[in-house]
């Protein structure tokens, strides 16, 4: 059953973010006001309550209680070129495997006194849905991946002075996922040949705890520096692996003297377990008020993707005849740590309107030697525009548009080879109300 291992990587690794504005497994859609400048000043500014994610120390800069929330909409496309079924399988290569996606976020922050602020946020740090068409040529390496990670973060910030503040928040994270893939029955070793494809599905979920730390410093009247640390999160997913449509050696078989009497087929449902760690990241940025109207931002993010060197899934209840190939399934990812760099700015046209623009370069944790059809990401360039409108002192509406373009990346797996080129359009909307 060696061709099913890509399916059984569990929910976490299927968070292929070809349709999001961060690389690897991460999402970047937690704030429309930050998105307008390509998240360049996320750790060094505090425009609204979404600073709870960007830098929790920034809550100390908020003068009143406020609630801020919004939605990000992602429309992605993938161009698949030069496909080849290495097992001789035929199939289509439409490439439109990413449906239109909506990502919500929301935050509330309030001052407790002159030193302390408290808040709570709900956002999605990781997530995806990708769904290749039935009959896709690369179906033996992955067919459908649906994942969401939802985080709740209660947070406190403390201002030592009017120049230095810190923030801390534990995170409660829930991951849910479902994966599917096909397996060629004819390719399964055994005395009875199979025909057609079997289907393998896995579902799993878990809760895990992490934390976020932040430091914000007003270096002088014009320059702010911020540092944010998002901790690693250890998951132990538990769920079910289901096999259907298996025949030949793996399914219902006729009497045959070469096959042990009573050998069952592999069709059925099995308990599945997977331990995986989502990596920590460090985000640092500076914001410089060049004039009373113009603010310039520079930021960089380091992510420890090297934690994802490989994945191992354990299936229990498997008949001993298949235990060697199905009870434990593993795959190497060999991801590497990455850096992302962003530049951006905001210009205050008047008291009601601010406009923003930015550019980010986000490197991929994988490469041509290890890229998979579930995570076909490459180095990407992101261009953003945004605006904020404050019709009153209590209300601000923010919007941002982003265009993402990736370099062409090669996939060369056990049963499929092709070139992938991803692009995406993103729209983020956010409303902030101050009490």
Six-digit token string for 175: 């991951």
270: pLDDT strictly greater than 90: no
Bridge-partner residues for 85, per DSSP?
416
C-alpha atoms less than 13 angstroms from C-alpha of 16 in its C-beta half-sphere? 31
Task: Express each pLDDT in 366-379 by its tens digit.
Answer: 999 888 888 888 99
Task: Express each pLDDT in 12-62 by its tens digit.
Answer: 444 334 445 555 567 778 899 999 999 999 999 999 999 999 999 999 999
Neighbours of 287 (CB within 10 A): 26
SS3 string, 394-427, reads: CEEEEEEEEEEEECCEEEECCCEEEEEEEEEEEE
**Distance in angstroms (rounded) separating the CA atoms of residues 307 and 25:** 12
- Phi–psi pair at 58, nearest 5 degrees: -65, -15
Six-digit token string for 186: 């004819």
Q: In this structure, are strands 294-303 and 281-289 parallel, antiparallel, or unpaired?
A: antiparallel
Q: Indicate yes or no: pTM above 0.85.
A: yes
Contact call for residues 95 and 78 (beta carbons, < 8 A):
yes
Considering only residues 341 and 252, tell me which one the structure prediction assigns the higher pLDDT.
Answer: 341
**Distance in angstroms (rounded) separating the CA atoms of residues 236 and 313:** 11
Task: Express each pLDDT in 109-127 by its tens digit.
Answer: 999 999 999 999 999 887 7
186: pLDDT strictly greater than 70: no
Q: Coil, strand or helix: which one is 259? A: coil
DSSP class of residue 138? T
């Amino acid at each position: 059953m060696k061709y099913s291992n890509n399916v059984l990587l569990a929910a976490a690794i299927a968070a292929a973010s070809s349709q999001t504005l961060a690389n690897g497994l991460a999402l970047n859609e937690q704030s429309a006001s930050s998105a307008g400048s390509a998240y360049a000043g996320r750790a060094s500014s505090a425009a609204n309550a979404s600073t709870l994610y960007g830098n929790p120390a920034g809550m100390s800069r908020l003068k009143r209680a406020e609630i801020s929330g919004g939605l990000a909409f992602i429309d992605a496309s993938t161009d698949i070129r030069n496909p080849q079924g290495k097992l001789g399988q035929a199939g289509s290569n439409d490439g439109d495997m990413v449906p239109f996606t909506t990502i919500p976020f929301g935050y509330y922050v309030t001052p407790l006194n002159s030193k302390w602020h408290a808040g709570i946020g709900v956002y999605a740090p990781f997530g995806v849905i990708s769904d290749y068409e039935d009959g896709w040529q690369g179906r033996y390496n992955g067919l459908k991946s649906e994942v969401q990670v939802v985080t709740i973060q209660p947070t406190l910030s403390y201002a030592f002075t009017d120049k230095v503040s810190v923030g801390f928040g534990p995170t409660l994270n829930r991951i849910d996922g479902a994966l599917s893939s096909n397996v060629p029955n004819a390719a399964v070793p055994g005395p009875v040949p199979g025909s057609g494809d079997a289907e393998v599905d896995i579902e799993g979920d878990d809760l895990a705890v992490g934390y976020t730390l932040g430091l914000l410093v007003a270096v002088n009247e014009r320059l702010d520096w911020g540092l944010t640390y998002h901790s690693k999160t250890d998951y132990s997913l538990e769920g079910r692996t289901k096999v259907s449509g298996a025949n030949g050696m793996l399914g219902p078989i006729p009497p045959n003297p070469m096959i042990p009497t009573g050998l069952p087929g592999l069709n059925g449902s099995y308990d599945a377990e997977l331990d995986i760690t989502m990596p920590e990241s460090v985000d640092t940025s500076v914001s410089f008020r060049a004039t009373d109207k113009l603010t310039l931002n520079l930021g960089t993010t380091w992510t420890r993707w090297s934690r994802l060197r490989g994945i191992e899934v354990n299936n229990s209840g498997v008949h001993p005849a298949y235990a060697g190939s199905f009870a434990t399934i593993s795959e190497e990812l060999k991801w590497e740590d990455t850096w992302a760099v962003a530049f951006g700015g905001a210009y205050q046209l008047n008291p009601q309107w601010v406009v923003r623009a930015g550019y980010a370069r986000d490197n991929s944790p994988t490469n041509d030697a290890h890229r998979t059809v579930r995570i076909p990401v490459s180095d990407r360039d992101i261009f953003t525009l945004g605006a904020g409108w404050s019709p009153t002192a209590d209300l601000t509406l923010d919007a941002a548009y982003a265009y993402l373009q990736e370099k062409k990346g090669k996939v060369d797996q056990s049963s499929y080879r092709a070139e992938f080129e991803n692009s995406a359009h993103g729209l983020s909307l956010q409303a902030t109300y101050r009490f």
